[in-house]
Structure 1
């Protein structure tokens, strides 16, 4: 969902989860012009691949030491990180609404017809009809496929045969949820998911809740104003998981017992990144903020990229990397936000957060350009 657009109610039924979609109510300011930049670090494009367009919130999977990705038409493929060589290619058989989850061998996507499709090295293995629409990429781990619907209910399937193992949903659900990817990631032997403003630790074998912690305290006069759904990607650093509650807060949780370490009220609609020292994110105006990971204290902010529709960030060495709606990839110093390098992917918006395997950084654009860079 584009940053900065107003949230509106797409449907409302008492005691039923409601989709929230992006609805423009006022023009967004023009993007801040880019300043002249003398590169402070070296970096170059190393390979490029072409897909059809990408019109769903796709995330590139990196398990297995290669990139697994997909396009809107249902093509799913794996690319070697160093050369871009195609390792395998498959077809989900329909247009996609969510993907890609992969453990390096099995890949999982969801179609617009609410079918979960699992492929084994590119060959379709099984399909399963889902009860709710899905926009969060599935998670493939521990010989299971975990799927999170827009109602934030989670279902586990056997990766080999598609057998449904368990399902977890909150009694009564949340009054509103987002039509935007949520939080779902592994931590040791725990599945961590976002349900409303809560981060929840789940037993992946049984689907039982081990702990849950609120990252935000929703406030407002109506359900839309109180919406604080956790949005992905979340950041996992050691035993800490940090995440953003939609337009409400950013916070970090100690995953061993689900203890809230800190939370800071701040708007924003994109996920966060983190390293040993900082947590990074952008607000709805594309102001970049770095918080100290231990305390949540603000370390620095930058307004150099306002209204450029920045992607969720990635941390690469000493740099913090964002894509924008004009296809630029921005490298800034993680310690103070100073621009270090700017590289072009073309003229179309960058889709999702940049991802890295080894020394190769990958970004995908809305028109299907898959571009690999190697910062030096």
Structure 2
């Protein structure tokens, strides 16, 4: 078991115990068992074939807060949207960083942002979901869900799907915020900090939960169409039995669904019926990324693994960033992009798996997934610094 003192991982929602107290207790348990401590690999020199050149940077309020809320930025068109944990939301010109507008909400933000079809959607610590007009920053509507929201709300043409930390999934009318239906799942007493992010298409929603199950919901009424166990709890302690589906399922154009799980496996499914196409024994709490016929996974110990999307065969693995708390991967012009706990941004060649570029954004660390558009990367550090970089050549 590996625990980070700099980035809390566990939360006990049912007892509402503080993250810090749990982390200390778990660390004490590890010490008693004589298990190895968390030891990130030191960075080594490499042959740099890609440069990361800063285009602009902005400070977005007070950043992600002491609890490191997963407030990842979003981009739509020529605008980048970012927020901080106190409720500051900003819209910035993607090319030069010029501020278009700034809104101060009266409630703290806790979720990643999602910018789609003229609105920015986000969740708050007190269980609100807020729709903000992309044009001027005005609030279009607010709606209440069952508990704190950490995952970015996900939209199809009619609905906004919100997964809160108690495992409940709420479907809201995208235009008005009115509740359409609710799906509730059982939660184990101990879970990873955070929740899965639903994958939403027009007819159905794919939902991963903290009990290791994947469910497909009918978007007309929220009823399950099929349900399966992706990861099975093992071990004697609650920590060993963690099996959260904490990432977002990835759907390919031809109807394959790729799902990661913590202490479990990576599974490829036939999306309409849930039949298993292949599986690989990799533990991951991150959303994978599909590029062509390669599926890229960041494991729980920060190995970067490329899998053949057709068979699950391991194509390559890079372990040179082991235990550096890599973010979920993004993709920029043939390179995979990751941030780490010390604030470095890393580039890995997607074909061969070699590290080809690196720069440091800020020593406060990077814990949210970078946003990419072609060769452009937008990355937000934990202290709120939002930097835009260009990959060359």
* 1:97–1:35 distance in 2 versus 1, CA, 3 Å: same
Q: Distance in 1 between matches of 2:223 and 2:80?
A: 32
Q: Distance in 2 between matches of 1:9 and 1:125?
A: 32
Q: Distance in 1 between matches of 2:384 and 2:10?
A: 29
Shift of 1:108: 2.0
Shift of 1:350: 1.0
- SS of the residue corresponding to residue 369 of structure 2 reads strand
Q: What are the residue-to-residue correspondences of 1:345-360 with 2, within 5 Å?
A: 345-360=361-376
Greater relative contact order (CA < 8 Å, ≥ 6 in sequence): 1
Which one is further off, 17-26 or 31-40?
A: 17-26
* 1:7–1:332 distance in 2 versus 1, CA, 3 Å: closer
* 1:303–1:98 distance in 2 versus 1, CA, 3 Å: same
* 1:273–1:129 distance in 2 versus 1, CA, 3 Å: same
Q: What are the residue-to-residue correspondences of 1:92-131 with 2, within 5 Å?
A: 92-121=105-134, 122-131=137-146
Q: Is 1:231 matched up with 2:233?
A: no
Counterpart position of 1:46: 55
Per-residue CA distance 1:85-112 (angstroms, 9 max, x = gap): 3333323211112231231412222222
CA contact (8 A) 1:252 1:260 kept: yes
Counterpart position of 1:79: 92
Counterpart position of 1:184: 198
Q: What TM-score results when the alignment is normalised by the length of structure 1?
A: 0.87
Counterpart position of 2:268: 252
* 1:326–1:88 distance in 2 versus 1, CA, 3 Å: same
CA contact (8 A) 2:69 2:110 kept: yes
Counterpart position of 1:306: 322
Counterpart position of 1:10: 12
Q: Distance in 1 between matches of 2:156 and 2:3?
A: 31
Counterpart position of 2:43: 34
1:147 to 162, 168, 183: 162
* 1:229–1:65 distance in 2 versus 1, CA, 3 Å: farther
Q: Is 1:23 matched up with 2:23?
A: yes
Q: Is 1:163 matched up with 2:178?
A: yes
- SS of the residue corresponding to residue 315 of structure 1 reads strand
Q: Distance in 2 between matches of 1:346 and 1:7?
A: 21
* 1:357–1:317 distance in 2 versus 1, CA, 3 Å: closer
RMSD: 2.8
Counterpart position of 2:352: 336
1:66 to 76, 79, 82: 79
* 1:10–1:181 distance in 2 versus 1, CA, 3 Å: closer
* 1:11–1:62 distance in 2 versus 1, CA, 3 Å: closer
Counterpart position of 1:136: 151
- SS of the residue corresponding to residue 53 of structure 2 reads strand
* 1:192–1:28 distance in 2 versus 1, CA, 3 Å: same
Structure 1 residue runs without a partner (length 5+)? none
CA contact (8 A) 1:9 1:224 kept: no
* 1:316–1:189 distance in 2 versus 1, CA, 3 Å: farther
Which one is further off, 3-12 or 232-241?
A: 3-12
Which one is further off, 271-280 or 218-227?
A: 218-227
Q: Distance in 1 between matches of 2:14 and 2:128?
A: 25
CA contact (8 A) 1:50 1:368 kept: yes
Counterpart position of 1:373: 389
Q: Is 1:202 matched up with 2:202?
A: no
Q: Distance in 2 between matches of 1:127 and 1:85?
A: 28
* 1:258–1:76 distance in 2 versus 1, CA, 3 Å: farther
* 1:228–1:44 distance in 2 versus 1, CA, 3 Å: same
Higher strand fraction (1 or 2): 1
Q: Distance in 2 between matches of 1:179 and 1:220?
A: 20
CA contact (8 A) 2:122 2:153 kept: yes
- SS of the residue corresponding to residue 23 of structure 1 reads helix
